[in-house]
Each structure stands twice: as structure tokens, then as C-alpha cells.
Amino acid sequence: MAHAGTFFGMPRWYHGWTIVMICVLVQSVTLGLPINCFSLFLPYWSKQFGVPISFLALGITIFSLVCGVLGPCAGSLADRVPARRLFACSLGALALFHLAITHAQSGLQILLLYAIPLPFIVIFGSSVTSQPLVSRWFERKSGLALGISAFGLAAAGVVFPPIVVRLIPFVQWQGVWMIVAGLIALIVLPLALVLVRDRPGVTDGAAYRAATAIDAAESARPGFGAVMKRRNFQILVMAFFPLQAMHMGVVVNLVPLAISRGFTSVASGQFLSVVAVAALLSKLGSGLLADRFGVRLPVLGVALLSATGALCIAFAGHNLVLMCAGAFLAGLNGGMWTLVAAGVLREFGSHAFGRAFGAASIFGAVSGALAPPIVARLQELSGTYVPGLIGLAVFILIGASQTLRLSDEHRKPYGK
């Protein structure tokens, strides 16, 4: 007689892995054009609407700040509201956002679309909803599952830029947004509605779930103040803040930077893909390392490599090899999202994961908001991107120094 966890003697497919794949897909389309390809559209918008790139970059700044404000509330909702409902609302609004972009008549309209509807769409269509959902399905092997889920934050950066730079000459930039709007409405939204379940059933995947129940003290959901008082949480934020600043500062400005150094638009898009490939590999690798070694050493490694990447880009000039190496090393900072998630899960448990991860997202949003326009403005004032990139590297090294104080002890119940 076959075991309850097998099908005719073969291990049953654990639906948690389906959940992970859906999270990857949803995050990919949510961030694909609006965030991962933002830099590619800047030259077109700047020329068509007659506004400087630094003005358009303010859209990302306001977007990120609003995401930071929404983060704690969104994290709390992710612990309470079914993920399928959150995904459905986010994806429906995302398709409409793509259509609205195609009808923009000025740079101000682009900025307002990024500042007002997009933060609500992204906050519920990306990691603040996905990571708590995955944490409920994987109480064991969580680092690997969270790392694969975080692929969605980088996968779009691998797939979208090279496709976009080749499509624009044929369908214009507006056509690209319309095509993706159709894919979201006709494919991704129905898949999320059909396949997403909020948590495993009693007989699902014993190998991925805790052997014992979490006691009441541990399962209690902390308030924002209790989250902020945790020492490990504070240290994670100190490392996360500069890394996210560098990520957004590089990604948003990379295409204008590359074009200013004489690279073609196609090559510039490929630099974005290099960043995204590195981020994708780093997310998975960081998850595996977190399962085995905890988060302290992986955080330190990601920070040092990312700072090196920023310096390589700063001094690469027209050197293609050094630009690619810098883009790859800079992209490794994507693993920090996995490490923050793993650290939060270790510290707070799956029952309080959403609220704590939402609190962490405030700091990532603020740093991601400030860096792009600052880097762009420094370039406009000095004529070079070098000062901004050096500043980001120094900022990362300061944050990295704090990770030596990070404790990898097992989490304790609140109030103990």
C-alpha cells in the first residue's frame, strides 16, 4: 500500500513548489517593465516629452517612498488576507497601469502614474505578498524556497530588457506596454486565481513543515515597535539600506551611463541583463548558504562583492569587459532580499513574517527612492557618474561593517 505522501510509490508533487513558481511569475510581470526596464524607456520619454532624465527618475523616488509607507500595512495584510485575493487585485490593476502608460501625454503623467497607482500594485504583487506566502509552505528548507521565490525580482531583468530593446523598433515603446498588458490579463491573472492556495493542508509536504507546533508566544504577531527593537533586525536593516540604494541607483541609471560612454542601446540593455542574471544567481545561492551557515557571512560577502561592482562600473570607462564584470558584481546585491527574508523568518517565524518583512521593506524603499535621482543629479552637475558610484560603494562598506555584530542564534519567543 502506497504511503500517504506518495502516488503509486512515487513521491507526490508538493504544491508548495507550484506556489513558488507562481510567485516567481507574478513578481516577474509586476516588476518587469515598470522597474527592471525603466532605464530603457528613459531616453524615449525624455526625448518625446522634453524633460530631463533626473525629473523622470523622481517617479521612482516617489514610488519607492510610497512603497515604504505602505510596507508595514501590506505586510500585516499579507499575514491575514488570502494571497490569491491580493495577487488578483494587484495583477488586474497592473494590466490597467500598462495601458495607462501607453496613453501618457507628458513626463508629468509618467511621474504621476509611478507615484500614485504603481506603489499599491507593486507592494501587493511582489515580495511583501510572495515571501510570507512561501514562508507558510516551507518551514523547513525555507532558505532555498525563499531564494527561488525571489527569482521573480530578478528574472524579469534577465528576460525583459533584451526583448524590449528589439521590440521597440517594430512596435514603438507604447506597443511593448500593450503587449505585456495582454499577457498579464490573459495568462498570469488566471493562473494565479486557479493555482494559489494560502497555506498547506494537513497532509501536505511533511518534509517541508515543522515537526512541532509553534507555541502561542512565538506565534504572536509583534507590533511595529517590537519588530524595530530586535537587534538582529536593526543590523539587517543597516546592511540592507545601502545595498538597495546601490541596486536602484545602478539599475535606473545604467542605460544612460552606458550610452554616455559610447555603448549602443542594445549593449546597454544587455548590461541590465547581466545585472539581473547575477541577482538571480545570488538569490538562489544566498538562500542555500542561509540554510547552511545562517545569514551573517552571506550578508557580508554580498556587500563586499557589490561594493567592488560599483567601483568597477565607476572606472570602467569604455572597457566592455570591466563594465560587464562590474554589472555582474553589482547585481549580486540581489541576494540581500533573500537574506533579509531568511533572517526575518529565523527571528520572527512564519506567523509574524509578513509584518516584520513589511517593516524591513520601509528601509529598502527609502534607500531605493533616494539613490536614483541623486546619482543622476550628480552626473548632471559633474558630467560623470563616478562620484555617485563611489559614494554608493563607501555607503555599502559602512553597512557591511555592522554585519559582524549579527547573531545567528535561533529566534526566541517575544518578551523572553
Report domain extents, the chain.
Answer: 11-200+222-405
Exposed/middle/buried for 412, CB within 10 Å: 0-12, 13-18, 19+? exposed
Mean per-residue pLDDT, 12-26 = 88
Give the up-direction half-sphere exposure of residue 121: CA atoms within 13 A in the CB hemisphere: 25
Q: For the segment 196-207, what is each residue's pLDDT rounded down to a tens digit?
A: 988 877 666 555
Q: 46 — phi, psi (to 5°)?
A: -60, -45
Question: Which residue, among 275, 391, 267, has the nearest Cα to 332 in the 3D structure?
Answer: 275
CA–CA distance, 111 with 106 (Å, rounded to integer): 9
Give the relative orientation of helices 231-260 and 296-315 as an angle to the nearest 10 degrees. Answer: 20
> In the structure, what pLDDT confidence band is assigned to residue 366 with cuts at 50, 70 and 90?
confident
Q: What pLDDT is attached to residue 92?
A: 96
Distant-in-sequence, close-in-space partners of 365: CB < 8 Å, separation ≥ 6: 64, 65, 66, 67, 68, 69, 71, 244
Report the 10 Å Cβ neighbour count for 103: 10
Region 306-311: mean pLDDT is 93
C-alpha cell at 401: 561593517
Of residues 46, 209, 84, the one with CA closest to residue 139: 209
In the predicted structure, residue 416 carries a pLDDT above the cut 70: no
Q: Where are the beta strands (DSSP E) in 288-385?
A: none
CATH classification code of 11-200+222-405? 1.20.1250.20
Report the greatest alpha carbon distance in the chain: 75
pLDDT tens digits, 383-408: 889 999 999 999 898 888 888 787 75
> Sorting pLDDT into bands at 50, 70 and 90, what band is 275?
confident
**Does the structure show a pLDDT above 80 at 108?**
yes
